[in-house]
Amino acid sequence: MNALRRVWDHFEEAFIAFLLATMTLVTFVYVILNNLYTLFYTLADRWEGSSEFFFAIGDSILGMAQSMTWSIALTKALFAWLIFFGLAYGVRTAGHIGVDALVKLASKPVQRAIGLIACLCCLGYAGLIAVASFDWVKTLFTAGIGAEDLGHYGVMQWHITLIVPFGYAMVFIRFSEIFIRILRNEQTGLGLADEAADALKINEHGEHKQ
């Protein structure tokens, strides 16, 4: 049970790491292939006796590079998934910036009430977008349109856009967890990032070092 809890608590982090690693690997391979074939063409020009061998390798690498037209489309799709996973990750880790200077002037019960109202608003927004985007995905599923440069590999547009309802469903779940914590008096607000407080901490830390 504890293992499942740890997996759930770090679900977004693991998937974000996977997406970043995949994007980096695909881009790295594409860039290497687009620059490597020129090396073999240069070697072929220098050593005429082995020119056919080097030209054959260069042509092979060039062919692989030209066949990777899908890499840009895949990277864009993965980046879109990264954004929507990042939304849920930001909610879970309090990474989104909050403007609550006036709220903090109120008493704890009032802060708690405002936090509940704000959380309900966020839940409503996330739920609305999740449902609406799911209808959009259903329309794309019915249309059966292939994804840009990925359609001939069997990747459809609805495969990529599925992240929108899924991402907002994750946001809804994370805000639900916050709502429950506020009801249990485990926190008073949404727990958003406070840039001013963070800046003061960094400044104090710097002064202590001096």
Beta bridge partners of 193: 97
- Going 75 to 79 to 81 to 86, the CA torsion angle's sign is positive
Domain residue spans of the chain: 1-67, 70-209
Backbone angles phi and psi of 10, in degrees to 5: -120, 20
Q: What is the pLDDT along the chain (210 residues), one digit of tens a residue?
A: 666 767 776 778 888 899 999 999 999 988 888 888 888 788 877 777 777 888 888 888 888 888 888 888 899 999 999 998 888 888 877 666 665 556 666 677 887 888 888 889 989 999 999 999 999 999 999 998 888 888 888 889 999 999 999 999 999 998 898 888 888 888 777 666 554 444 444 445 555 555
Assessment of whether the complete model's pTM goes beyond 0.85: no
Backbone angles phi and psi of 102, in degrees to 5: -75, -35
Residues 6+ positions from 12 with CB-CB distance below 8 Å: 85, 86, 88, 89, 92, 170
Cβ atoms of 171 and 91 closer than 8 Å = yes
H/E stretch holding 154:
none
- Helix (H/G/I), strand (E/B), else coil: 187: coil
Residues 6+ positions from 20 with CB-CB distance below 8 Å: 82
